[in-house]
Chain A
Amino acid sequence: MNWFRYASPVEFYPLAGRMVPWFAVAAALSTVVGLYWGFFQTPDILSQQKEYYRIIFVHVPAAWMSMWLYLVLVGWAVLGLIYNTRLSFMMAAAVAPTGALFTGIALLTGVLWGKTSWGTWWDWDPRLTSELILFFIYAGYMALQSAIEDSYRADRASALLAIVGLFCIPLIYWSINCPDPTQCAALHARSSMSAIETNILAAMWTMVFAFWMYSFAVIFVRVRNIILERERNSTWVSRLIGGGPS
């Protein structure tokens, strides 16, 4: 199978369209399973944290997605810069809003958890601050992308910005797992999978899977929108849309 065939928007557009329903169904099913598991098969208390710990079933997957999607974005941006492919930049642009959305969800649910757990909505601790910076980097990427009229230049300028913004990801990671814990604020405990009850972990991973499936679905829909938008004057788009929506 020649994967490079799909590097062309003409080839990728229908392929992405065929995959969207599968990802959507997988997202819906795994959300139902994850929520059932998270609410009915888990204990009411996680270490000293009472029922409110259940916020992790959306908070942790969203926070992870915010970081992983940023890596995906940068990956596509770098591929675009190296191989000069239109589709790579379109993928990078399609990932950004969903990444920003998950960053927003992580921050909002974190605020609600913070109020119950620490008694405060917000605190300028390293992890909260670095996650907020990530949100601004996503916003900056999208703003730069849309501010430059010429898509050729917009793609390259925003790709560079995305690469510069990469510093934020290890910063978020090390804000907890830093080599010297006394140097870190103690609001988030050091992350350790073994400290968490198996059912809680299983529900959390199911939600992570659900959020990945959701991301694939919406990113493919968005990349199709971007392809149509950018190639609207081409004959292939004209022929495709003329033959009924697909």
Chain B
Amino acid sequence: MIAEFFSMGGFGFYIWTSFGLTFLLMLAEVLYLRQQRRTNLKRIQRIRKMNAGSDS
């Protein structure tokens, strides 16, 4: 019965590829944004340390 569900009347490949691609692309966007945020935060910390160093 499970095999029947996944075969989707013989169209399983097209359906699961569609849903798979959609969610992979969304996941990639989320992971990329997280990476971008980390890079940003590190950079700001560096700028902050640099400024603190020049103040004192």
Contacts and interface: CB of A to CB of B under 8 A. Distances in A.
A98 B21 CA distance: 15
Interface residues of A, number: 38
A101 B14 contact: no
B45 to A, nearest CB: 6
Contacts of B30: 218
Among B19, B41, B48, the most chain A Cβ lie within 10 Å of the Cβ of B19
Contacts of A35: 19
Interface of B: 5, 8-11, 14-15, 17-19, 21-22, 25-26, 29-30, 33, 36-37, 40-41, 43-45, 47-48, 51
Contacts of B19: 35, 57-58
Contacts of A245: 41
B8 A109 contact: no
Nearest to A228: B40
A6 interface: no
B47 A55 contact: no
Given A241-B41, A241-B48, A55 B33 contact: no
Nearest to A114: B14
A110 to B, nearest CB: 9
Which has the most chain A C-beta neighbours within 10 Å: B14, B37, B48? Answer: B14
Contact of A105 (B5, B25, B41, B48): B25
B50 to A, nearest CB: 10
Contacts of A238: 44, 47-48, 51
Q: Tell me which of A50, A112, A218 has the highest count of chain B C-beta atoms within 10 A of its own C-beta.
A: A112
Contact of A214 (B26, B40, B43): B26
B33 to A, nearest CB: 5
Given A58-B19, A238-B47, A52 B11 contact: yes
A179 interface: no
A238 B51 CA distance: 10
Nearest to A109: B18
Nearest to B33: A221
Contacts of B41: 228, 241, 245
Given A105-B25, A116-B14, A225-B33, 9 more contacts: A50-B9, A51-B11, A52-B15, A57-B19, A108-B18, A224-B37, A225-B36, A228-B44, A242-B48
A232 B51 CA distance: 12
Contacts of B47: 232-233, 238
A44 B5 CA distance: 11
A229 B39 CA distance: 10
Interface string A28-42: 000000010001000
